[in-house]
Chain A
Amino acid sequence: DGGITQSPKYLFRKEGQNVTLSCEQNLNHDAMYWYRQDPGQGLRLIYYSQIVNDFQKGDIAEGYSVSREKKESFPLTVTSAQKNPTAFYLCASSIGAQGQAGYTFGSGTRLTVV
C-alpha cells in the first residue's frame, strides 16, 4: 500500500546534538512538507519542497535544514541552533501544486530533548 513512512517514531536528543528525522513516500507525489506540532498551536510549516532538488522555508525554518535529493525522500535535520526542539514532527506529501486531494500525512516523530 502507498503511504508515508516516518522514522523513528520516538527520538531523544541531547543538548547540542543534531538529529535527522526520516520521511519516505511511495505515492509518487511531487510535493513534500514538514510540520511541527505543539499543544495548542496547531501545525506550523517548517520547510516544503515542490520538486526534487528544490525546497523553500516555511514559517518556522530557523534551526532546521532539509534536503530533497530523491523524489521519495525529504529528511529533516534538527540542528543545535533550534532552541526548543521538543515537539511532534509531521511529514506530508501532495500531488504537485494541485492541492485538491489534500495532503497525506505520516504517523509522526516525537522528538524529546533530554
Chain B
Amino acid sequence: AQSVTQLDSQVPVFEEAPVELRCNYSSSVSVYLFWYVQYPNQGLQLLLKYLSGSTLVESINGFEAEFNKSQTSFHLRKPSVHISDTAEYFCAVSRNTGFQKLVFGTGTRLLVSP
C-alpha cells in the first residue's frame, strides 16, 4: 500500500517570498505523484504530476516539484508567491500499474500575507 506524509499542516509566508511544501511518500512499487490545490469550499484542482521521465515538473502558474526517488520525496516549490496562492495543497500518490487509487496526504495550508 501507498502512503503520503505532509509534515507541515500550515505554512505562513510573505508575498513575493519563496516557499517549499514538503511531501514524502511510502511505496513498495513504482508510483505516480500528484499535487492538488484546493480553494475554500471548492473541489481539488490538479496542479502538477510526475509520471516518468524528467524528475522536475512544472505547472502553468509558476509552481514546480521534483521527484527524488532516493529520498521518496516530491516537494512543491515556488520562487515567489502571490496572495492568490493562499489555499490548501494536497500531495497524492498512486501505484503506476493496475487500478490506480489515489492516496492523499493530510494537506498543507499555505497562508500568504502582504
Q: Report B-chain residues with C-beta under 8 Å of the C-beta of A105.
A: 36, 43-45
A107 touches B34 (CB 8 A): no
A103 touches B105 (CB 8 A): no
- In the complex, identify which listed stretch (B13-21, B58-66, B69-77, B96-104) lies at the interface while the others stay far away: B96-104
B49 touches A102 (CB 8 A): yes
Interface residues of A in 45-100 (CB under 8 A from B): 45, 48, 50, 90, 92, 94, 97-100
Majority secondary structure of chain A interface residues (helix, strand, loop or mixed) = strand
* Contact residues on A (Cβ < 8 Å of other chain), bracket: 20 to 34
* Given known A105-B45, A108-B42, contact A99–B94 (CB-CB < 8 A): yes
CA distance A98 to B94 in the complex (A): 10
Q: Report A-chain residues with C-beta under 8 Å of the C-beta of B32.
A: 99-100
A103 touches B41 (CB 8 A): no
CA distance A86 to B49 in the complex (A): 31
A90 touches B105 (CB 8 A): no
Q: Report A-chain residues with C-beta under 8 Å of the C-beta of B46.
A: 102-104
Q: Report A-chain residues with C-beta under 8 Å of the C-beta of B106.
A: 40-42
B44 touches A45 (CB 8 A): no
* Given known A41-B106, A102-B49, contact A97–B100 (CB-CB < 8 A): yes
Judge whether A43 is part of the interface by a CB distance below 8 angstroms.
Answer: yes
CA distance A40 to B101 in the complex (A): 21
Judge whether A13 is part of the interface by a CB distance below 8 angstroms.
Answer: no
Interface residues of B in 4-46 (CB under 8 A from A): 6, 9, 32, 34, 36, 41-46
20 sampled A-B residue pairs with Cβ under 8 A: A4-B43, A33-B102, A40-B106, A42-B90, A42-B104, A42-B107, A43-B90, A45-B101, A92-B43, A97-B98, A97-B100, A98-B100, A99-B101, A99-B102, A100-B49, A102-B36, A103-B44, A103-B102, A105-B43, A110-B41
* 13 additional contacts (CB under 8 A) given A42-B6, A92-B43, A102-B102: A42-B105, A42-B106, A48-B101, A90-B44, A92-B44, A98-B100, A99-B102, A100-B49, A102-B34, A103-B46, A103-B102, A105-B43, A107-B42
Chain A residues engaging chain B, CB cutoff 8 angstroms: 4, 6, 31, 33, 35, 40-43, 45, 48, 50, 90, 92, 94, 97-100, 102-108, 110
